[in-house]
Amino acid sequence: MIRVFCCLKIIIPCSLTQDKRYFVLFRIICHVNIRITGSFACGYDALLFFRKTVFLCIKLSCLDKMIAITHYYSATNQQQCRRNNETEKKMHYLMNFFKCGLFGWGLECFWTGCHSLFYETPKKLTCTTSIWMFPIYGLAVFIEPIYHLIKKKSTLFRGFIYTLCIFLVEYSTGTFLKKKNRCPWNYSDKKVNIKGIIRLDFAPLWFIVGLLFERLVRGPAKKRVR
């Protein structure tokens, strides 16, 4: 039995599709049937014919079990691959979340430091930020799926969409934190502001920042192979 199973395992590899496996099964049936019919025609007794028929039934039973086992492991491998892909996708977004949070923190420190350079005396280049800004900048991870939707559009169009998204996130998170009296920024003393939460004159800045985040989350551009 083991030898038959091994032979069938060699005859029908797992890489074959279901239709090809059944085609091989049909070939085996025809081959064995021809041998049985030939033996019976040559004058072999009915007992020999019965034994060969039983052997054929056992052989086909092993083949059927092997196909069922192959289908089971194939489905199991597909489920495992699907789980692995989902896990890799979650880890990818988690890593991008941390990268965007740290990158945003760095940009804010640089921006507030430059502000200190031009508007404060002495020029200590001190920067200010908040821990709340880390998860807010981390939300830039959602630029990646947006990029995949509009990647064929021009840079101007993509930057405009990213600017709108940043304004939306800034307004929603700022409104929420302001209700809790924990909003780390206040633009009420600025000329072009909405409820002291967003500054419309920051649109060119967010345009550039949005494109920088796009490059960060989608990775380096792949070179075309000629």
Residue 196 structure tokens: 């002291």
Domain residue limits, the chain = 2-79, 130-218
pLDDT value at residue 86: 83
How far from chain centre, in Å, is Cα 206? 27
One digit per residue, the tens of pLDDT, for the chain of length 226 reads: 434 444 444 444 444 444 455 555 555 555 555 454 454 444 445 555 555 555 655 655 565 556 666 666 666 677 777 777 888 888 888 999 999 999 999 999 998 888 877 777 777 888 888 999 999 999 999 999 999 999 999 999 999 999 999 999 999 999 999 999 999 999 998 889 999 999 999 999 999 999 999 999 986 655 444 4
pTM passes above 0.85: no
